[in-house]
Structure 1
């Protein structure tokens, strides 16, 4: 994606569209109204672009095409036109039955304002937004109305670059793929697209997911359906930790960006849960519940990639250090990657990637990658991982896996043994292992530090002499220290 395009370059237009609704409905509903209209624009743009290669399982009826809607945007019937467009899509695509918004023709909504929203969205080039366009816009509104929507549960949209990186690293090509907190389906979409690019057949991958938020789950169904991805997202929306809808299943590939640091996750009612084979996760933080859930769902030769806040790498509260030790000693951790800050649209929090693998190729070793310096700032708040960053990180991991042309590099990567990790008290921060890269002049960090320490010692040795000179000078003008 070109810098400055995509959602980061469309904020003002998105807010302009939402602002047309001010005073007529509650601000917390802005996102629902705008998202529905954006969905129609998005699928029409894709239909026009991919006329000969669109998924046969998805069709956009004439009465739902954007040109049809725009012809009626300035009429009093625009709300009815939109509702009928969604009904037509549902009739032609049974998987979307009961999923799409049909709410535009009620007395609550002013047709003139809805028409103005349509006109603003008409100026969008939706194909310049990230592939998970709906999910990204949804997350934008969550951030915009954080205080009104109660944002604070640690749930964030997974950036496109992070999704691509995880997919590149675990490389799902066939079998089953599972996302236990699938959000708007971005990871499942990206993984399915990667499989299709490799084999030409999405059907090689059986897709599963679960999402707690009902509105977000509907977005996931919409996202997957328009791309022809058959996915089982469970019977309904639901909390994966409290009510796993795939209790008896194991998965070959798992991708997850669980909500960070959730305190009230229901530990008291799950003390005897069989998923806690490493120990019962802390009551006040769900991070290790998600890690334990992922390991419990992993097939005998499966691989998983999980995005978590950095605290999960070092925390010792309520036994988390013990759980981490068990995961390491049983050789389940394959790779840890530190990512830069400001990758997330609504928070600057830096995160890390955990990679688990059953039946590890490099037994007794963990690869640590420090990628905190990667990425490019696209504005003052947002950083993106570019293709070169993704290729560099994923390439280092795959070279290490294959034991081909891999070498430890100070400040970047280190293959550490379990004994090395044991010596560091099972702390998993990559910087502790990779060290610091050599300076541009080529002087090793250790040698440079030796010189700096020697210089500091020399200066400190002169402190008493300098103190006495200062006192003498002060006494000369009548002052005593």
Structure 2
């Protein structure tokens, strides 16, 4: 993204956040999140419709285009008959469907909302373009009616849009002002597509709302850098992608970005998700709809454990950031549930329930990555150690990544990423990489020292950080560790191919099953990677120790001398020291 594009998006962010501020005094964060995002969505689909409408109009008036309407057939371009025919053609839905543009009925178009948001305060009867009458009681009713009309005409949005504006306890005039402010937001740019713009805005808002809502907001939003890291490492290029705790759908969005950046085809990926919270389920569905991504989020929002929306799914990629250390998760769940293949998870902590649920839905050659609290790597409480041992003994664990603290807006619990696969044998990945035989090996990466403080409370990764971790993982998957080839410890400065893997003390280590057994099946990377290697300056230890001891003695003597001078000066000033 160039500077001009970035400045455009930054300006857009400020304008939209100003819009949110208009409601902040009267609505809590959870309410204004849906209020603003719903209106932004309406503005986007309306703008996209208008852009397509202008394209069609130009085509109808272009003699070289197949859609050309010849004015001579209608007594000239200015004739009423020609204009009626042109307007009639512009209202044909098929022209919009063929360009994957949502059909927007006249009462849902932004101009209609803007023209009438003052009129309907206190109630009004409006006349639609088709002559029908529409009775509306408030600005909230005007917006709900628009959303309802869009859902009726676009079946895949059924139940997705949050039609609760009539119920908002808010000054109707202020809601009208919000419509006028969002009207100034452009979803058009010379080099950015409308979907790119809205996608950026949507992601920005989700992050800001997560900060505003604190712990509650974090339930639907995973920081982009962590999502990007998991997607980069798994490379979901084609196949079925599943998230059983999808929140607002961040993993799916980043998967789309990965595919697009690597010249893949979005149509070769199938999206499956599940979410318990109804409004968050709507956020995710809207997130997919604005990007034109087909999705299957089940028939309804539902509990993943008691109402699995995809019972027969076996996904090629499973990615999730489930709630950490979730308690009382198992009400209504059978002890002999087929998902608990490696042990019954404890009632007081759902970490290994999420992990095993994901494994159950993983295809034979599939790969998965999930965020869990650090305790999952070492806890032996209530069967957790037994489950972890079974996972290791069955050679399902591929890579463990320890993360730095302060990455999340909603929790200070330190976290890690588990990467698992059912097939470590030599094969070709979905992305076309030749993976070596990795049976009996686990890669440990200690990334706790990576990242930078984005502000006073939140840490973030740079793209260089993400690339460093990703390349270590991919190199390990594709090339035999150099350390095994020549039985030496390789320092970070040794010349090697960019695609080689070698252990780096303090950062990464490829460990065999026997080593994990010696550590009682604990998977904390720090136990395996060791300490970072000290740089050798060539000075023998004995000589260095003698030199440093001499320096310390000299410094002590200088300190004593200075202390004497200070006391002498203070005594001269009349102070008793």
Given the two structures, how large is their TM-score scaled by the length of structure 2? Answer: 0.68
Of 233, 237, 248, which residue of structure 2 is paired with 1:169?
233
Work out the CA distance in 2 between the residues paired with 1:45 and 1:382: 35
1:305-329 per-residue CA deviation (whole Å, 9 max, x = no partner) reads 1111111111111011111111111
Cα-Cα RMSD: 3.8
**In the alignment, what sits opposite 2:298?**
234
Structure 2 distance, partners of 1:143, 1:414, is 35
Tell me how far 1:179 sits from its aligned partner: 0.8
SS of 1:419's equivalent in the other structure is helix
CA distance in 2, matches of 1:289, 1:58: 40
Q: Give distance in 1, aligned partners of 2:97 and 2:417.
A: 33
Q: 1:231 & 1:16 partners in 2: Cα distance?
A: 30
From 158, 163, 172, the equivalent of 1:111 is: 172
Structure 1 position 145, deviation (Å): 4.2
State which structure, 1 or 2, has the greater radius of gyration over its C-alpha atoms.
2
Greater Cα offset, 314-323 or 154-163: 154-163
Distance 2:454 2:8 in 1: 9
The aligned runs of 1:414-429 (5 Å cut-off) are 414-429=509-524
Relative to 1, partners in 2 of residues 1:396 and 1:119: Cα closer, same or farther, differing over 3 Å? farther
Residue 191 of structure 1, aligned match among 243, 248, 255: 255
Taking the TM superposition and a 5 Å limit, the aligned residue runs for 1:51-450 are: 56-59=99-102, 61=104, 64=108, 69-70=113-114, 76=120, 78-105=139-166, 108-119=169-180, 121=182, 131=199, 133-134=201-202, 137-138=205-206, 140-141=208-209, 143-145=211-213, 151=216, 155=219, 157-266=221-330, 269-360=333-424, 361-403=437-479, 404-439=499-534, 441-442=535-536
Contact 1:368 1:415 (8 Å CA) reproduced = yes
**Residue 40 of structure 1 aligns with which residue?**
42
What is aligned with 1:472?
Answer: none
Q: 1:67 to 1:380 in 2, by over 3 A?
A: farther
For 1:231, what is the secondary structure of its paired residue?
A: coil
Alignment deviations for residues 51-77 of structure 1 (CA, whole Å, 9 cap, x no partner)? 999994342637555566555566555
Structure 2 Cα separation of the partners of residues 381 and 155 of structure 1: 18
Cα 1:281/1:4, change in 2 over 3 Å:
farther
Match of 1:17 among 4, 7, 20: 20
- Cα deviation, 1:272-306, whole Å, max 9, x if unaligned, reads 10111111011100001011111111111110111
Cα displacement string for residues 211-232 of structure 1 (whole angstroms, at most 9, x for unaligned residues): 1111111111111122221111
Structure 1 Cα separation of the partners of residues 256 and 182 of structure 2: 28
Higher-RCO chain (CA-CA 8 Å, sequence separation at least 6): 1
The verdict on how the C-alpha distance between 1:122 and 1:410 changes in structure 2, with shifts beyond 3 A counting, is farther
Tell me, yes or no, if the aligned pair for 2:198 and 2:290 is still in contact at 8 Å. no
For normalisation by structure 1, the TM-score amounts to 0.80
Q: Unaligned regions of 5+ residues in structure 1, if any?
A: 456-481
Structure 2 CA distance, aligned partners of 1:27 and 1:202? 33
- CA shift in 2, pair 1:60/1:410, >3 Å: farther
Deviation per CA, 1:141-192, whole angstroms, max 9, x where unpaired? 4553458xxx39x835111111111111111122211111111111112213
How far apart are the structure 1 equivalents of 2:335 and 2:9?
44
Equivalent residues of 2:19, 2:181 under 8 A apart: yes
Deviation of 1:382 (Å): 2.1
Deviation, 1:29, is: 2.7
* CA distances 1:107-152 after superposition (whole Å, capped 9, x unpaired): 85432111233455567788898947546635644553458xxx39
Offset from partner CA, 1:13-46 (integer Å, 9 cap, x none):
74872553634x6665333222212333455677
Distance in structure 1 (CA, Å) of the matches to 2:465 and 2:458: 16
- Which is worse superposed, 355-364 or 90-99? 90-99
Q: Structure 2 CA distance, aligned partners of 1:263 and 1:70?
A: 47
Secondary structure of 1:400's partner? helix
- Using the TM superposition, name which of 176-185 and 116-125 deviates more: 116-125
**What whole-Å deviation, never above 9, does each CA across 1:331-365 have from its counterpart, x for those lacking one?**
00001111222222333433211111111131111
Deviation per CA, 1:388-429: give whole Å up to 9, x if none. Answer: 222111111111100141111112111111111111111111
For these two proteins, the number of residue pairs brought into alignment is: 447
Aligned CA distance change for structure 1 residues 31 and 357 (closer, same or farther; 3 Å) = same
Q: Distance in 2 between matches of 1:75 and 1:386?
A: 50
Uncovered stretches (5+) of structure 2, i.e. residues with no partner = 56-95, 122-138, 188-193, 425-436, 480-498, 550-577
State the SS of the aligned residue for 2:20.
helix
Alpha carbons of structure 1 residues 108 and 233: separation in structure 2 relative to 1, 3 Å: same
SS of the residue corresponding to residue 219 of structure 2 reads: coil
Are the counterparts in 2 of residues 47 and 54 from structure 1 also a CA contact under 8 Å? no
Q: Quickly say closer, same or farther: Cα 1:91–1:156, change in 2 above 3 A.
A: closer
Other-structure match for 2:556: none
